[in-house]
């Protein structure tokens, strides 16, 4: 009787991009030096990126900003609420669109700690 045998199913991944290889790459990317904005690319994420660009320009820091939209990479940072700001591998803000002055504060503080 085939009715009573449970069918073995593979565990579905959360979004298709959370493979073991993708997670390993995301973990390795966490420890790179630089500034990253984590988010889906929505208006809030773009507003945070613009504020960070203005703060970097005002501080005279020549740093590129990576905009990370891959869910596996965002999850590797432990961020559940976007947009988020990562400076030198450390999450310094999440779930809020920072103003230029706030971004300057977080950038200066993170760079002073290193």
Selected catalytic residue, list 14, 15, 18, 42: 42
CA distance 112 to 106: 10
Q: Which residue has the tokens 């493979």?
A: 19
- Classify the C-alpha dihedral 6-10-11-12 as positive or negative: negative
CA distance 108 to 105: 5
CA distance 78 to 60: 30
Selected catalytic residue, list 14, 15, 18, 45: 45
Read off the tokens for 60: 């005279």
Query: Would residue 42 show up in a list of annotated catalytic residues for this protein?
Result: yes
- Residues marked active site are found at 42, 45
């Amino acid at each position: 009787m085939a009715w009573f045998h449970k069918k073995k199913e593979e565990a579905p991944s959360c979004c298709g991009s959370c493979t073991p290889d993708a997670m390993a790459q995301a973990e390795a990317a966490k420890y790179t030096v630089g500034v990253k904005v984590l988010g889906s690319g929505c208006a809030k994420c773009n507003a945070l990126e613009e504020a960070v660009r203005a703060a970097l320009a005002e501080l005279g820091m020549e740093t590129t900003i990576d905009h990370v939209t891959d869910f596996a990479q965002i999850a590797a940072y432990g961020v559940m609420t976007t947009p988020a700001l990562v400076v030198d591998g450390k999450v310094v803000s999440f779930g809020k669109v920072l103003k230029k002055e706030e971004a300057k504060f977080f950038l200066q503080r993170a760079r002073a700690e290193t």
